[in-house]
Amino acid sequence: MTIKTLVQAGLLGLAIASTAYVPQASAETLRVSGGTVQRALKVPMNRAVVVESDVAFAELSIANPGIADISTLSERSIYVLGKAPGRTTLTLLAPDGSLITNVEVQVTADVGELKERLREVLPGEAIEVRPANDGIVLSGTVSSAMALDRALDLANRYAPERVSNLMMVGGTQQVMMKVRFAEMSRSVRKSLGFSAGVQGTGDNGSIGFQGGTGGYIGSSVSNGPTLDTDSQGAFQIGFGYGDVEFAMLIEALESKGFVRTLAEPNLTSLSGQAASFLAGGEYPVPVRDDDGNVSVTFKPFGIVLNMTPRVIGENINLNLKAEVSQLDTSIGITDAGFSISGFSTRSTESTVEMRDGESFAIAGLLQDDFTDLSSQVPWLGDVPVLGALFRSADYQREQSELVIIVSAHLVTPTRGDALALPTDRVRPPSENQLFMRGITAVTDRPISGGAGEVARQDFTGSYGYVME
């Protein structure tokens, strides 16, 4: 292979490589009639067009070379390359130096590739893409907010911070959330204790004895054994013979407790918007600063619900914070003359995803506490049979079970007469009904609409807020 052949091969390869980086050019005809053109010349950014003029020209000039670059291919052909978004003017001059026409050149963002990427990433979404000056306009209707966010993120890759969003989200975008708090608490306590006292008197003095682990508080040698009978479940037995007196106190107590707590708050919000709900009150809490001054702050308690739903296609993504609290005087404190109660709180925070009408148990707690205590008088409590008089036993067991269930529904507004309120069932009585007949509420108020049948119900069954 000769040097000439190598040089020719190298030049051919360079020409092929250079051709790969030349923007694709398309030809269009620029018709000049009476010194004017029929329409503006639109050129995509980083792409080129070849313009063929009906009139031969001798010279070209561009007002802003930073927006578009031009070159002549012949006396009737023009090569125009878009460089930056914007508008500029292309001037054509005749061989005698006279003006042929001014052509408005509009360089816009290249949206062809963006359209292809949107069809690949979001198939089936009716998204329209249009160039607007140096930016991009997205319009159309998408199926979910997630698809909208993806389209905007992709468009920002082609025109950072120059994307106008005119898209709309179709379908139902309002979410009603129903939260159910259910808690059951059971407690059992049993205790058994004995106390005894013996006293004897004679000519040479007196002698007494006391013992036990129950409610016995002491004895008087002169007045006989004295036992405490103020405790619940306590009873006393005593007898005497001559100068000897004997008393015995037995404490036997069994207590059982049961607590049921149920709360069902409902809340509706638009997709992507936060919503909060409070049914309860605010408790004043005194706060002392470094200077000793006392101020009052208020702490909310009751049923607190905060949620942010987001509809993603057929699913509902839900961020939830729920809390049920109430005052608990058993854990309060007293400071500087103020008595402050504590709070018993059950709360949860979670993010779940579900379909319309589905439910999730987002929290559950089963707690079982057991304590027992046995106390006795040393040595005497170990005596067979009689040792039971010097022993006491106590045990306590507490069980609690908590479940929080969340249900989500896609909802739309309805007519007001299709809903019933608790106040629709009753109306205030007249003076005759109140004073003469003793009627405090009239339950036969006529109501028209979808809530009429519900409002005509009496109070023998379930009643409250009804929504269908």
Q: Is 251 exposed, middle or buried (0-12, 13-18, 19+ CB in 10 A)?
A: buried
Determine what percent of the chain is predicted with pLDDT higher than 90: 0
**pLDDT (average), residues 155-178:** 82
Provide the pairing of β-strand 315-335 with 294-312.
antiparallel
What would the CATH number be for the domain defined by 41-108?
Answer: 2.60.40.1080
Judged against a pLDDT cut of 60, whether residue 129 lies above it is answered with yes
Instruction: Provide the H-helix boundaries in 297-451.
Output: 431
Distance between CA atoms of residues 179 and 202, nearest Å: 77
- Do residues 416 and 448 touch, judged by C-beta distance below 8 A? no
224: alpha, beta or left? (left if phi > 0; alpha if psi -120 to 50): left
d(CA 132, CA 424): 56
What's the confidence (pLDDT) of residue 218?
Answer: 41
Helix (H, G, I), strand (E, B) or coil at 253: strand
Q: Tell me which amino acid residue 263 is.
A: A
Alpha carbons within 13 angstroms on the beta-carbon side of residue 59 total 8
End-to-end CA distance of the chain: 90
Backbone angles phi, psi at 423, to 5 degrees: -75, -10
State residue 136's pLDDT score. 86
What percent of the chain is modeled with pLDDT above 70? Answer: 74
Main-chain phi, psi angles of 13, to 5 degrees: -65, -40
Question: How does residue 19 score in pLDDT terms, banded at 50, 70 and 90?
Answer: very low
Average pLDDT on 200-226 reads 51
pLDDT score recorded for residue 115:
86
The model carries a pTM of 0.52
Q: Does residue 92 contact residue 53 with C-beta atoms inside 8 Å? A: yes
Task: Report DSSP state, residue 313.
Answer: T
For the residues 148-160, what does the mean pLDDT come to? 86
Q: Please classify residue 451 by burial: count the beta carbons closer than 10 Å to its beta carbon, then call 0-12 exposed, 13-18 middle and 19+ buried.
A: buried
Give the domain ranges of the chain.
41-108, 123-169, 415-457
Phi and psi at residue 54, in whole multiples of 5°?
-75, -20
40 pLDDT more than 80: no
Q: Which of the given ranges, 37-41, 65-69, 140-144, 402-406, has the highest pLDDT on average?
A: 65-69
Separation CA 42–CA 49 (nearest Å): 9
